């Protein structure tokens, strides 16, 4: 602590050993000396008003003229203003400083302890393995991130940009020199050459690799952070977004991918990660992977149980009741790292970081249940596997109980082989969810109850997202009702919703008769699926005419057929906007 003692005891502050490193005026150094004397006496924060009145001679309010001295010390990063928290230094006026307190920054304390902020790096030696190289590169990423936050001017990050830049140049130069004398190839450098990465692409890759080695869901996965560490100004940030958009080299070459998640402000943000095969190549360069990752859709083609659904819409494309959308948004927010941390601390979640949700979608056919499930999968960037529960009894007579367990066992097997976490959609799940027969005597009743007991057991053990759709909720067994976190009703659309659906589903490039009235069509009580069916059937009728003009009569004829049918529409995937 000799430098600290020398500084606070110095009668002439310009003679103190650390004075040249302060790069300040004598007046500014005396203020720092005053603050440090109080600090070592246990007074961590010093009021700015006390500093001015104790250190400057004044008449009346002349001490206000010296507020600039305090502001300069803040700008240099030697003191930090306590009261404002995360406010940019340049946005703080001199008068805002007056009735606040300040304290020494970590930079000043380090200077007082070590006597210098000069950077000393070890001697340059060859890299012995790729881990040594990565450690240096990860240090560069940390420095670049500190520089980015320092550039923003936040008080808690007010370290001198010049010192950070100096250290970055030294460390970057050291990496280059060490690579020159390293005889063994470094796998990451070879990888960069293979794909001809530029400096910005390399930095993005190294930042994501750093996250993988740290095992976290940390800051460098966020799109804005990645752009921040490769940009020098606001214009550069706009231009650099293309490096993380679909079609960029990093994404099109299947080097990185991203998940889209709902952020706390209701928008969609992207969280990036390295593809598994790339990660294995870097982390285990001398180990050939024995089991390759298989595509889920290809695996599904080899079996007959599940259907692989390809999402084309996300939740923003589906007409939903506001309450339903609110519940789905809450489910999506489980992937937020802050939400997960809270749930884990409260003992609600274990080590599993994915979404856990068991959901029932119930309502009339054609109201968008299946479409919503598929759109949820696209929003979460997850695959979705569907099983038609109405087939379970007809698969193998007498083996329905075994088939129930097979649904879940095969789902786990497919997920494990493909190394993905798909959504399981159980369509037409009425017979699974209906009340069990009390005092069942027939073999059919016993089989049905046994099948439901196994289904109940599998639901209890399920990890991930499971969605069951049903047309009826009144007859659901209470035991099943308790096992599902959420029960969302899909009601028939009202007139206003029907109007929106008609507008969205009517062909855009078609010709309509004069006086065509969409509001008149919306008066008829149809579901979204039925509207879609009427539009398609009407189009087939009109398309064969020489003059293909849609008339109200064409649509009304098809509506009459649909409403007069003994069927409640046809099986529909729902409706989209």
Is the pLDDT score of 290 beyond 60?
no
Give residue 300's pLDDT. 86
More confidently predicted of 196 and 446: 196
Q: Which pLDDT score, from 0 to 100, does residue 573 have?
A: 40
What angle in degrees, to the nearest 10, is found between the helix axes of 130-151 and 161-180? 160
pLDDT(467) > 50: yes
CA distances from 98 to 154, 194, 318, 325, 538 (A): 19, 58, 54, 48, 75
Whether residue 348 is predicted with pLDDT greater than 90 in this model: the reply is: no
Q: What are the strands, taking DSSP E only, across 240-325?
A: 256-262, 268-274, 307-309
Alpha-carbon gap, residue 171 to 144, rounded angstroms: 11
Question: What pLDDT was estimated at residue 353?
Answer: 60
What is the band of 438 on the pLDDT scale with cuts at 50, 70, 90?
low
Q: What are the residue ranges of CATH 1.10.10 in the chain?
A: 2-114
Name which residue leads in pLDDT, 156 or 469.
469
CA angle 395, 476, 459 (to 5 degrees): 60
Question: What Rg, from alpha-carbon coordinates, does the chain have?
Answer: 33
Tell me, what's the pLDDT at 450? 80
Please enumerate in sequence order all residues whose Cβ is within 8 A of that of 341, keeping only pairs 6 or more positions apart, or say none: none
Q: Which CATH architecture has domain 296-490?
A: 3-Layer(aba) Sandwich (3.40)
Residue 295, pLDDT score: 79
Residue 342: which region, alpha, beta or left (left: phi > 0; alpha: psi -120 to 50)?
A: alpha
Buried b (16+ CB within 10 A) or exposed e, 421-435: ebbbbbbbbbbbbbe
Closest Cα partner for 297 from 420, 426, 409, 463? 420
For the chain, the helix, strand and coil percentages under 3-state DSSP, each to the nearest 5: 55, 10, 35
On whether the CB atoms of residues 102 and 35 are closer than 8 A, the answer is yes
* pLDDT tens sequence across 43-54: 989 999 999 999
Q: Which residues pair with 489 in a beta bridge?
A: 362
pLDDT of res. 464 = 86
**What pLDDT is recorded for position 473?**
64
Phi and psi at residue 382, in whole multiples of 5°? -120, 150
Structure token digits, residue 181: 């004398």
pLDDT computed for residue 575 by the predictor: 47
* Most confident among 56-70, 118-132, 264-278 (mean pLDDT): 56-70
Contacts of 549 by beta carbon, 8 Å cutoff, 6+ apart: 511, 512, 513, 542
505 against 474, higher pLDDT: 505
What is the three-class DSSP state of 398? Answer: coil
Asked whether the predicted pLDDT for residue 570 surpasses 60, the reply is: no
* CA atoms of 55 and 444, how far apart (whole Å): 95
Place of tokens 């729902």: 574
Give CA separation, 331 vs 231, 248, 261, 356, 563, in Å: 34, 31, 11, 8, 36
pLDDT averaged over every residue in the chain: 81
83 pLDDT above the threshold of 60: no
How far is the C-alpha of 276 from the C-alpha of 256, rounded, in Å? Answer: 9
- For residue 185, what is the DSSP state? P
Q: What is the dihedral of CA 456, 461, 462, 467, to 10 degrees?
A: 30
Q: How far is CA 161 from the centre of its chain?
A: 30
Q: What pLDDT does residue 384 have?
A: 92
**pLDDT top residue among 514 and 83:** 514
Domain with CATH 3.40.50.300 in the chain: 296-490
Buried b (16+ CB within 10 A) or exposed e, 1-26: eebbebbbebeebeebebbebbebee
Neighbours of 385 (CB within 10 A): 24
Q: Which SS3 state, helix, strand or coil, does residue 374 take?
A: helix
Q: Rounded to whole angstroms, what are the CA distances from 497 to 289, 325, 512, 518, 526?
A: 53, 15, 22, 12, 10
Q: Which residue reads 């274990």 in tokens?
A: 350
On the question of pLDDT at 574 being above 50, the answer is no
Measure the CA–CA gap between 188 and 134, rounded to whole angstroms.
Answer: 8
Res. 512 pLDDT band, cuts 50 70 90: very high
Q: Are 503 and 518 in contact (CB under 8 A)?
A: yes
CB 367 within 8 A of CB 493: yes
Angle at 515 between CA 514 and CA 519, to 5 degrees: 140
CA-to-CA distance for 432 and 359, rounded, in angstroms? 14
pLDDT, average across residues 194-212 = 93
**Per-residue tokens: 358:** 């068991």
Q: What kind and span of H or E run contains 360?
A: strand 357-363
Tokens standing for residue 373: 């499930």
Is the predicted pLDDT of residue 503 greater than 90, yes or no?
A: no
pLDDT at 567 over 80: no
CB 8 within 8 A of CB 37: yes
Q: Which percentage of the chain shows pLDDT scores above 90? A: 26
Q: Compute φ and ψ for 565, nearest 5 degrees.
A: -70, 155
Q: Where in the chain is the domain with CATH 1.10.8.60?
A: 495-564
Task: Name the least confident of 84-98, 129-143, 344-358, 476-490.
Answer: 84-98
- Mapping DSSP to helix (H, G, I), strand (E, B) and coil, where does residue 231 land? coil
Mean pLDDT lowest for which of 57-61, 78-82, 119-123, 530-534? 119-123
d(Cα 262, Cα 269) in Å, to the nearest integer? 6
- When the candidates are 1.10.8.60, 1.20.1050.10, 3.40.228.10, 3.40.50.720, the CATH number that belongs to 495-564 is 1.10.8.60
CATH architecture observed for domain 2-114? Orthogonal Bundle (1.10)
């Amino acid at each position: 602590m000799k430098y600290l003692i020398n500084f606070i005891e110095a009668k002439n502050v310009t003679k103190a050993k650390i004075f040249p490193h302060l790069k300040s005026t004598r007046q500014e150094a005396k203020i720092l000396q005053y603050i440090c004397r109080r600090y070592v006496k246990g007074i961590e924060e010093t009021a700015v008003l006390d500093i001015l009145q104790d250190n400057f001679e004044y008449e009346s309010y002349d001490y206000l003229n010296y507020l600039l001295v305090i502001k300069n010390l803040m700008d240099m990063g030697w003191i930090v203003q306590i009261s404002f928290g995360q406010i940019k230094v340049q946005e703080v006026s001199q008068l805002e400083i007056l009735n606040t307190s300040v304290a020494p920054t970590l930079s000043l304390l380090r200077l007082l302890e070590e006597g210098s902020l000069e950077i000393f790096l070890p001697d340059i030696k060859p890299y012995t393995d790729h881990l040594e190289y990565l450690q240096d590169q990860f240090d560069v990423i940390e420095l670049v991130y500190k520089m980015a936050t320092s550039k923003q001017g936040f008080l808690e990050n007010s370290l001198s940009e010049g010192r950070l830049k100096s250290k970055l140049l030294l460390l970057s130069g050291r990496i280059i020199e060490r690579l020159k004398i390293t005889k063994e190839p470094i796998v990451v450098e070879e990888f960069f050459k293979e794909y001809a990465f530029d400096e910005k692409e390399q930095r993005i890759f190294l930042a994501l690799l750093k996250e993988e080695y740290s095992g976290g869901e940390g800051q460098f996965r966020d799109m804005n952070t990645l752009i921040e560490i490769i940009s020098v100004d606001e214009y550069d940030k706009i231009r650099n977004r293309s490096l993380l958009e679909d079609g960029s080299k990093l994404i099109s070459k299947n080097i990185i991918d991203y998940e889209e998640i709902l952020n706390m402000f209701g928008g969609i943000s992207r969280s990036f990660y390295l593809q598994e095969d790339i990660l294995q190549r870097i982390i285990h360069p001398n180990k050939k992977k024995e089991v390759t990752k298989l595509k889920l859709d290809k695996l599904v083609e080899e079996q007959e149980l599940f259907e692989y659904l390809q999402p084309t819409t996300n939740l923003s494309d589906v007409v939903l009741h506001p309450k339903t959308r609110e519940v789905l948004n809450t489910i999506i927010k489980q992937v937020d790292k802050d939400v997960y941390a809270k749930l884990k601390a409260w003992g609600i979640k274990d080590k599993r970081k994915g979404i856990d949700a068991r959901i029932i979608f119930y309502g009339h056919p054609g109201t968008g249940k299946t479409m919503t499930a598929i759109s949820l999968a696209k929003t979460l960037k997850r695959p979705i596997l569907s099983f038609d529960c109405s087939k379970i009894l007809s698969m193998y007579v007498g083996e329905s109980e075994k088939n129930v367990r097979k649904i879940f066992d095969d789902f786990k097997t497919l997920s494990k082989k493909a190394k993905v976490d798909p959504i399981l959609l159980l369509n037409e799940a009425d017979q699974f969810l209906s009340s069990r027969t009390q005092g069942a005597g027939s073999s059919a009743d016993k089989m049905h109850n046994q099948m439901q007991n196994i289904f109940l057991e599998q639901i209890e053990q399920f990890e991930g997202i499971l969605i069951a759709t049903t047309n009826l909720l009144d007859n659901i067994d209470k035991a099943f009702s308790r096992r599902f976190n959420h029960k969302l009703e899909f009601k028939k659309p009202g007139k206003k919703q029907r109007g929106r659906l008609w507008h969205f589903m009517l062909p855009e490039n078609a010709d309509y008769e004069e006086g065509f009235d969409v509001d008149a069509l919306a008066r008829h009580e149809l579901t979204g699926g039925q509207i879609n069916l009427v539009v398609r059937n009407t189009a087939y009728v009109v398309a064969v005419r020489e003059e293909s003009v849609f008339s109200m009569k064409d649509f009304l004829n098809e509506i009459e057929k649909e409403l007069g049918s003994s069927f409640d529409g046809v099986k529909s995937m729902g409706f989209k906007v």
